[in-house]
Amino acid sequence: MEKYRANLLMCAGTGCVASGTPKVKDALQEELEKQGLADEVKIVLTGCNGFCAEGPVMLVYPEEIFYQKLTVAEVPKLVEEHFLKGRPYEKLMFKDPEKRAAIPLMNDIPFFKHQVLRVLRNKGLIDPDSLDEYIARDGYMAAGKALTEMTPEDIIQTIKDAGIRGRGGAGFPTGLKWEFASKSVADQKFMLCNGDEGDPGAFMDRSVMESDPHSVIEGMLIGAKAIGASKGVIYVRAEYPLAVARLETAIKLCRENGLLGENILGSGFNFDLEIYLGAGAFVCGEETALMRSIEGKRGMPRPRPPFPAHKGLWDKPSVLNNVETLAQIAPTILNGAEWYKSLGTEKSTGTKVFALTGDIKNVGLVEVPMGTPLKTIIYDIGGGMTNKKKKFKSVQMGGPSGGCIPEDHIDIPVTYEDIVKTGAIMGSGGMVVMDEDTCMVSTAKFFLEFTADESCGKCTPCRVGTRVMLDMLTDITEGRGQEGDIEKLEDLSRDIISTSLCGLGQTAPNPVLSTIRYFKHEYEAHIKDHWCEAGICSDLCSFHISEELCKGCGACLRACPQEAIVGEKKKAHRIIQELCIQCRSCYDTCKFASIEVKPAIRKEKPVSAVKEGGDK
Amino acid sequence: MAKLTIADLKKIKEKQQATFNLREGGYRAKVTVHMGTCGIAAGARDIMTALIDEITESKVNDVITTTSGCAGLCAREPMMTVEIADNTPVKYGDVTVDKLKEIFKDHVLGGTPVEKYALVMGSETTY
Ligand SMILES: Cc1cc2nc3c(=O)[nH]c(=O)nc-3n(C[C@H](O)[C@H](O)[C@H](O)COP(=O)(O)O)c2cc1C
């Protein structure tokens, strides 16, 4: 066996691949060879490291030095300094945002320091295509224990005692679900995994499948033993090609090594599984629709009962679990329920993975104990707003089924109970952070557009109701809102929630209700005053340049696609309102905050875009 | 391919231990070869190669090696530092491949510093 003195774990998650990992890896390999270090220093491609904002990233062992924003141009210097001469290369290290000093060690970087990894225990630590490396981290030991030493009842009791709740959105107790299916009598049962991940902005499950596919398979294997299933299906959307490839490799390795198939680990237990590619319809993440989709039918939900635990895929008892739920099963079986419960709160045990996105500095994937204050996630881990001058406004949790949590609730601990109280939901873990430049009516409209689009059309309240709500929101954001619209929206919401067939319709109005709850004044301003304070709804605002603040740098003038800005160098510029289309380019470009948002000006549409000379 | 048993899982885990000691910090001894320009000129690369060979041959998996910059005493290069968990690091100077073999056997594996080659006890802080 070859021996390496250093391991370079390069992130090959989707984010880092897009920002350049493959090129940097080739350059690195070439440079190591050139310096004669290729036999001593090994490059390992891993799944998502989580710190996507800083990609491509790389972790160097044994020193645990974290490098970020790698480029091909920096490779020769990096190799010479660190891998040849042993001097960690400061230029590529993470810099403390306040002190600007380099932070060499990964675990000292705030983004990583507050995290506790269970689901993501192997992220960035193993090669996801290597079965041996997974086994080295206790992989398949839990399956071994479950298959040879535990009865289905033992397994279910452990999961129940641990208090594991489904991470796919609804938070249903996993042990109970397994118990129902276990008690169903049938010649065939199915263990299914939900890797559809349809929430906009969410990428937790993709990362788990990419960085640690065996953790999902092992969880399914244990679940299969618990409920008595001999077949399994992982349902993944086809837009996740890397996740699919990693799962395929993992399944192949398992079959070759007897971890799937007959007589697994010599236990006499048989289980095999396949991957089913979904076309990426949101509704297909709903359990009954997902099962129909696997059957080759159109993905539409059906009424429950019968519940899948009794009649699921092909009318056989089935359990469907989310990717993240399954990834926590193996360590829980190995370490016991007490270990699992040692983190989190009484009703929300364990950890939760969140995908941080939006106007936040450290976009990425984080895992924290349940009960961690929302504030810690946004400020300590997330690093606050991308634009330091902007104030935090709200964080959207739970995607199209969830809601917006405003600033005065930001101290709440992240648990199922506390989040529901705010009108949002834990959901699957998407966290979209919004700063003060966000229009909450437009935000609600964005989610309604999504649900109206993704509604399968089977039941009327959802198909027609979401469309009517969307039309009303469109009117409000375009200045056609009417007195009484808010009440009408609330009314419609209640009806859609109580009469829709599946979770899609039953939760679709939530983004509207939660924004009305916390930001009613914005709805009112839009409707009564035709005024969008954030300057997002282009019909309800106008842009102006402050004479005092403008430095005449010309940046806005160059950014304006309409050539609507005029002014001489070093003198205050001016916007010609007749030409302005309120596209915000100037606002986003100005470094001196000199662009002001004011109520809309009624104006004639310009006949032609005449260019004006200087500012007279 | 043969089907795995639970005993095989344990064997694979043991075989991978060296790699994961490196990644998870579970090592007993760390040997640092100083690779400043002076060290490289004096033959530090050969020392590193020989060291890796020694580790491979002895089949130990709790020893890791790393490089660091110039130790400041360029006249005594190649130099290396041996750190055994909970013990004071020992720095060796004028290392040759033969001396390395002796140091590896007595100090790294055996735990007894080879005083005749030792320069100093203690080490500068590195990252
Ligand atoms: C419209 C809709 C979309 C859903 N999308 C997903 C999804 O993408 N991933 C997921 O795991 N669960 C999704 N769910 C929840 C599933 O129906 C189901 O509750 C979950 O997969 C069960 O796994 P768990 O108990 O481990 O959470 C969705 C539900 C609805 C109503």
Shortest CA distance from B68: residue in chain A: A86
- Residue in B with minimal Cα distance to A137: B13
Using an 8 Å CB-CB cutoff, list chain A residues near B3: 257-258, 263, 266
- The pair of structure tokens assigned to A472 is 């009303």
Q: Does the Cβ of A328 fall within 6 Å of ligand 1?
A: no
pLDDT score of B26 more than 80: no
For B65: left if phi > 0, alpha if psi spans -120 to 50, otherwise beta; the answer is beta
Name the E strands within A52-204.
Answer: 58-61, 65-67, 94-95, 102-103, 190-195
The answer to whether A88 touches A63, Cβ cutoff 8 Å, is: yes
Tell me whether residues B20 and A39 touch, CB distance under 8 A: no
Looking at the predicted structure, is the pLDDT value of residue B123 above 60?
no
B3, A39: Cβ pair inside 8 Å? no
Cβ pair A136:B18 closer than 8 A? no
pLDDT at A1: 40
Confidence at residue A615, expressed as pLDDT on a 0 to 100 scale: 42
SS3 assignment, position A565: strand
| pLDDT confidence of residue A317 | 98
Q: What local confidence, expressed as pLDDT, does residue B20 receive?
A: 85
**A590 vs B2: which has the higher pLDDT:** A590
Helices (H), A90-165: 110-113, 131-136, 141-148, 152-162
Contact between B21 and B62 under an 8 Å Cβ cutoff? The reply is: yes
The alpha-helical segments, DSSP class H, found in A257-346 are: 287-294, 323-327, 329-335, 337-341
The rounded average pLDDT for each run of 10 residues, N- to C-terminus, in chain A (616 residues) is: 82 92 96 92 91 92 92 95 89 86 84 89 89 94 96 98 95 97 97 95 91 97 98 96 95 97 96 96 96 96 95 98 98 97 96 94 92 96 92 95 95 96 93 96 97 96 97 97 97 97 96 97 97 96 95 95 94 95 94 94 55 43
Q: How far, in Å, from the CA of A288 to the mean position of ligand 1? A: 10
| Best of A233, A287, A328, A401 for a ligand 1 pocket test (most atoms within 8 Å of beta carbon) | A287
Beta partners for A42? A7
Please give the distance, rounded to the nearest whole angstrom, from the Cα atom of residue A290 to the centre of ligand 1.
9
Asked if B15 and A132 come within 8 Å (Cβ–Cβ), the reply is: yes
Residue of B nearest to A258 (CA): B3
DSSP for A395-409, written as a single string: EEESGGGSEEEEGGG
Q: A446: Cβ–Cβ under 8 A, 6 or more apart, which residues?
A: none
Nearest to A133 among B4, B16, B32 (CB): B16
Chain CA centroid to CA A583, Å: 28
Q: Compute the count of residue pairs across chains A and B with CB atoms less than 8 Å apart.
A: 111
Shortest distance, CA A186 to any CA of chain B (angstroms):
29
Specify the length of chain A in residues: 616
CB A573 within 8 A of CB A557: yes
Euclidean distance between CA atoms A353 and A118, whole angstroms: 9
The packing angle between helices A241-256 and A213-227, to 10°, is 60
Please say whether the beta carbons of A319 and A177 come within 8 A: yes
**Residue A613: predicted pLDDT:** 44
Q: Which residues of B touch A102 (CB under 8 A)?
A: none
Closest CA to A158 of A330, A353, A408, A362: A330
Distance (Å) from the C-alpha of residue B108 to the closest C-alpha of chain A? 15
A194: left (phi over 0), alpha (psi -120 to 50) or beta: beta
Q: Is A34 on the interface with B (CB under 8 A)?
A: no
pLDDT at B61: 81
Tokens of A556: 């806005």
Domains of chain B: 25-121 (3.40.30.10)
Q: Say whether B67 and A9 touch across the interface (CB within 8 A).
A: no
What the block records as the tokens of A485 is 């619209």
Rounded to the nearest 10°, the torsion over CA A290, A291, A294, A297 is: -90
**pLDDT attached to residue A2:** 60
Residues near A100 by beta carbon (within 8 Å), at least 6 away in sequence: none
C-beta of A525 in contact with ligand 1 (< 6 A): no
The distance of Cα B49 from the centroid of its chain, to the nearest Å, equals 11
- Residue A142 identity (one-letter amino acid): A
Burial (0-12, 13-18, 19+ Cβ within 10 Å), A95: middle
CB contact under 8 A, A61 and B22: yes
Closest CA to A317 of A225, A196, A191: A191
CA atoms within 13 A on the CB side of A99: 6
Residue of A nearest to B15 (CA): A136
CB of A325 within 6 A of ligand 1: the answer is yes
- Which structural domains are found in chain A, ordered by start? 6-109 (3.40.30.10), 131-339 (3.40.50.11540), 351-435 (3.10.20.600), 440-528 (1.20.1440.230), 541-598 (3.30.70.20)
DSSP state of A228: T
In angstroms, the Cα distances linking A101 to A61, A63, A70 are 21, 18, 18
Give pLDDT, residue A237. Answer: 95
